[in-house]
Amino acid sequence: MRVLTGLCAAVVLAAGVAVPAAATAAPARTGTEPQYDYAGAIRETVWVDLGRDGDGDGVSDRVAADIVRPKEPAEAGKKIPVIMDASPYYSSVGRGNETQFKTYDDQGRPVGFPLFYDNYFVPRGYATVLVDLAGTNRSTGCVDVGGQSDVQSAKKVVDWLNGRATGYTAKTGGTKMSAGWSDGGVGMIGKSYDGTIANGVASTGVEGLKTIVPISAISSWYDYYRSDGASFGFNPDGLAQTVERRNGGQDCSAQHRKLAQGATANGDYGPLWAERDYVANAKNVRASVFVSHGVNDLNVMPINYGQWWDALAAKGVQRKIWLAQTGHVDPFDYRRTEWVDTLHRWFDHYLMGIDNGIEKEPMATVERQPDQWANEATYPAPGTKATVLRPQPGRTPGVGTLGTTGSRGTASFTDNPKVGENEWAANPSATSANRVLYSTGALTSPVQVSGTSSITVTATPSTSTARLSAMLVDYGPAKIRNFSGPGEGIVTGTDRTCWGSSTDGDSACYKVTSADTTNVDYTIISRGWADLANYQSLSREARLTPGKAYTMTFRLASTDHVVPAGHRLALVIGGTDNGFVTAPANPPKLAIDLARTSAQVPLVGTVPARPRTESAPAGELAHVPAAARFDLR
């Protein structure tokens, strides 16, 4: 373990004699160690005034922030930093792989804090603060699913920790409560909705927020519910009702109506989504950012981390990233020891000011195969170039080659909303009525797809409504994490490992997990969906004229994947992707103009300019079915 040693004054005392500091230099501070009594830590709650009345009861809303902090620093007059997780889930769906909830004693004092952050970091001199978003658990007000109420719920607690907001000892009434023990430095962390709020608070540029660690988090709520005009078929009012269901007493029906009305069914980007677009405000971010995401996350799609990362890079924000093969999984549950160590050093550096060199380490850590990790100096990977790949027709209708030379000809398919990506990917050498497929052929050397791809399609629909879907596929045998399994790439065992100190009401011990793997013959490495009616603007769809050609560019999911030599990289284009997007009113036949269709893919390495025509392996190829969408946990 690394040892934390206090900095020397001008002199040190040895045997009662003053000795010059240069003669006995203090060792470098390389890491915090457990030194404070967790069982005797201070556990308390502050209710912070939001200055808004979200539930319309005539009273300003207050958010509850449960705190556990070591008592020794306060007794010595030393101020300490805060690790904060702001969540709507502490009494509704729970947190972590073992679905933990907050617990309280008979007098309402906090006892059990979900996750390991308090157990591990409080003995090391940090406070842990878990915030109930407005309208959830013990807070008043209403959830607005990523809007101002949600973001302000956490931002105001940051303000309170810095002496800029008012806190009270009770939900109503009470006396004012200060945070004189806080040094004002805050690091926000959390998975999914929680990490999303960290992104939102960082995008306000609030002073005192030093770092955030968003895990499988949303960067724009539009991209959780919609995709370039296409709808995933569910809306934010349902999520709001889910997280508020155990917090009776407030009337949030007006807020629910606003959410339902603002999330228009046609998939247009409107004012509701603009308020919840943190990428647009990335220019305000002051905090460092440590991103973690599963490249196979089909709940919070990977485009969320990719566009956030790119916006932060443009701003020059200090950042780091972990990418796993998992679905919607916390790194504590797929690479526990390394994650805790890295997180510890990250917080020590950005909250304690310890010079441990973590900011100089490789920027990206990527899982190449289950439990096999590679470091990259940057993300996207060094040497990545935006490469335009173009489809060329082959001898088989709807099947051809993918290279870098100009395209020609047309191809067509009929949108069948009852099928989707796995049916499209199967039998890659055969004509399909429901998709077209273009492949590089067997690669002579590996290529790496690193970053965010896009596709430009020119399509002529036979009806006035149309969906487009596209995906990049790695054809070749591989062992991958079973990201669509019940654990989304992990299996939970029965043994436990402990991460910090425990009390009777708050255990630091968690079940061990391991990789859930499966063997496949192809891997879908990136996906994207669009409504062709939004070809001109995401803010306003147009009615399509049957028989007229339209050109639309839309995004494919961010990723980092190596296609080995001998494998094929393929582009597949279809209509409605069953299980993902909703179908158009009148599914069309779509004719694709190959000369005006291309994909822009960030590649390390090259593909043949004009691959020779060859048949892909025949037969049905096994693959993991698409994962179902879940509540945002």
pLDDT of residue 11: 27
Residue 613 pLDDT grade (very low, low, confident, very high; cuts 50, 70, 90) = low
The distance from CA 5 to its chain's CA centroid, rounded to whole angstroms, is 36
pLDDT of residue 631: 52
pLDDT at 22 exceeding the cut of 70: no
Distance CA(580)–CA(492), nearest Å, equals 27
Taking only the tens place, the pLDDT of each residue in 470-524 is 999 999 999 999 999 999 999 999 999 999 999 999 999 999 999 999 999 999 9
pLDDT of residue 318: 98
Q: What is the mean pLDDT of residues 371-379?
A: 98
- Supply the pTM of this predicted model: 0.92
Burial 90-118 (b: 16+ CB within 10 A, else e): bbbbbbbbeebebeeeeeeebebbbbbbb
Q: What is the mean pLDDT of residues 283-305?
A: 98
E strand or H helix at 343, and its extent? helix 336-352
Residue 15 pLDDT grade (very low, low, confident, very high; cuts 50, 70, 90) = very low
List the one residue out of 170, 286, 262, 267 whose CA is nearest residue 227.
267
pLDDT of residue 4: 30
Alpha helices in 110-265 (DSSP H): 117-121, 148-161, 193-202, 222-225, 236-244, 253-262
Fold (topology level) of 42-376:
Rossmann fold (3.40.50)
pLDDT at 620 exceeding the cut of 50: no
CATH number for the segment(s) 385-495+519-604: 2.60.120.260
Distance CA(223)–CA(220), nearest Å, equals 6
- Written as six digits, the tokens of 132 are 């109930």
Residue 30 pLDDT grade (very low, low, confident, very high; cuts 50, 70, 90) = confident
E strand or H helix at 524, and its extent? strand 517-531
Distance CA(405)–CA(472), nearest Å, equals 18
Residues 6+ apart with CB under 8 A from 314: 282
Distance CA(456)–CA(443), nearest Å, equals 24
Work out the number of other CB atoms within 10 angstroms of the CB of residue 492. 15
Taking only the tens place, the pLDDT of each residue in 382-426 is 999 999 999 999 999 999 999 999 889 999 999 999 999 999 999
Q: Indicate if 328 belongs to the active site.
A: yes
pLDDT of residue 208: 98
Task: Say which of 297, 415, 531, 560 is annotated catalytic.
Answer: 297
Q: What is the mean pLDDT of residues 529-539?
A: 98
Distance CA(264)–CA(341), nearest Å, equals 44
Work out the number of other CB atoms within 10 angstroms of the CB of residue 466. 27
pLDDT of residue 103: 98
Q: What is the mean pLDDT of residues 369-389?
A: 98
List the one residue out of 389, 394, 388, 391 whose CA is nearest residue 612.
394
400 by DSSP, 3-state: which? strand
Residues 6+ apart with CB under 8 A from 75: none
Q: What is the mean pLDDT of the chain?
A: 92
pLDDT at 26 exceeding the cut of 80: no
pLDDT at 64 exceeding the cut of 90: yes
pLDDT of residue 319: 98
pLDDT of residue 615: 44
Taking only the tens place, the pLDDT of each residue in 435-457 is 999 999 999 999 999 999 999 99
Residue 560's alpha-carbon distances to 4, 100, 375, 439, 553, in angstroms, are 36, 32, 12, 19, 21
pLDDT of residue 610: 87
Distance CA(424)–CA(419), nearest Å, equals 8
The residue ranges of every structural domain in the chain are 42-376, 385-495+519-604
State the burial class of residue 150 (Cβ atoms within 10 Å of its Cβ: 0-12, 13-18, 19+).
buried
Please, are residues 90 and 137 in contact by the beta-carbon 8 Å criterion?
Answer: yes
Please, are residues 549 and 593 in contact by the beta-carbon 8 Å criterion?
Answer: yes
Distance CA(17)–CA(25), nearest Å, equals 16
pLDDT of residue 191: 98
Task: Say which of 256, 293, 328, 344 is annotated catalytic.
Answer: 328
* Top-confidence residue, 233 or 610: 233
Taking only the tens place, the pLDDT of each residue in 168-203 is 999 999 999 999 999 999 999 999 999 999 999 999
Q: What is the mean pLDDT of residues 211-229?
A: 98
pLDDT of residue 617: 41
Pairing mode of beta strands 550-555, 435-439: unpaired
Residue 227's alpha-carbon distances to 77, 232, 233, 347, 433, in angstroms, are 52, 8, 11, 34, 24
Q: What is the mean pLDDT of residues 566-578?
A: 98
Distance CA(311)–CA(300), nearest Å, equals 18
